[in-house]
Structure 1
Amino acid sequence: MRREVKDFRNDKSLNEITVDGDEFARAAHNALVFTPARSCVPAAMLYVTEHELYFLATDTYTIGRPSLGPTRGAKPLHIELTRSDLQNLDKLGRACKGELRIAFPDDRGLIATGVQTQVQEAIPNRAGTLNYDRKIWNLCDDLLRQMERRDPQIPELLALDPALLSRFGRIKTPKGSSPMLDMRITSATEPILIKCGPRFMGVLMPVDRGGAGQSTTRGNEFLW
């Protein structure tokens, strides 16, 4: 992987931001939780906007959106990442022992370097190398925005797949913050908005009760 990107390591005109290494590692870990090995979406996204830096991951049944909060000095961009990339960024963030400088050569990926330790990871943008429908990312963003605006109406009965719900139990939150989940439930058949700690937001799809009652194994027909 490193040989793929060495051509832009010495680029002197890079778009850069600096983040806390532990926070970045936690966000990468939380995105990895929502990128299971057999997912039909073989990637996750890293977004830098005018307002924040965040990851977005989904397997179409759950969505994870861990954020690092406000950003300054970086222009908007997005980078496509694999599971292996997320694992490497998690390890790098924990190993850097302080601040992590992230540089984004134009449309070519990212270079993350520990400010104190100089540990480094260079990752190319995976766009175009993975086969899936990239419209999923706009759908995830739109769904999250819509659900935040809704007024909750709690149904009397709700069916959930415990295997999907358990992913939210693996989310890492900052020290001193509560690991409890806040869930916004609008109906027994619509997606559930979930927030955990100050920087994580996600979505969980409920189970189709009729289909689940006739299914002996989990699969597409088990859900809505």
Structure 2
Amino acid sequence: MSVHPEPSRPVDRRVHVQGRPVGSWPARSPEAERGAVRRITVVGEEILSRPCREVTAFGSPALSALIDDMFLTMYVAEGAGLAANQVDVGLRVFVYDCPDDQGVRHVGHVVNPVLELPPPRGRRLLDELEGCLSVPGATMALPRTDRAVVRGLDRNGAPLVIEGTGYFARCLQHDTDHLLGHTYLDRLSARDRKDALRTMADRRAAVFARRAGRAAELGR
């Protein structure tokens, strides 16, 4: 999930980490300081179009390293969320650092997420711009429900319940879609999908250059 780039990312005292409020949190989550930058897959690569596998081994160095790398890769790409298949790993994991519409920042990771949406009668759709780090440079308006809940596990296998509203609800839906083998392009009309791909072709080189520059600034 992509966001519009910001000049800087200040510490936000209104922050929830792994679904729980904390007093403050650094601009880049501590996982990123341990991570390495990985290549982000691009729409059209086969791994993005197949469902990811359940994680069965928890508390492992490999899973922790993957999550750390995903956090740093997400920040370098100026994203709000990143799924494991976006770094070419077919496991059901995503990370996020995303605001909701009330300005509360949400940070964390979810393993083996299951998405729950309000019943149709109680849903309110928000038709807003959405982008994807695997569709570099393109954003399109897409309706999503304004509330979502994800149930899953943390890296050690402890249960999680993450609730989102507004933009954060969009992020939860977007990244759960990834793990099912879908990008947001799959939810667009044929015409809008064609327009998004055309925009990506025009802008991807500039996006890649910006990411490389940010990685160099961080010494990664």
The TM-score, its normalising length taken from structure 2, stands at 0.27
Per chain length, whose mean CA-contact separation is higher, i.e. which structure has more relative contact order (CA < 8 Å, sep 6+)? 2
TM-score by length of 1: 0.27
Larger Rg: 1
Q: Which structure features the higher share of helix residues?
A: 2
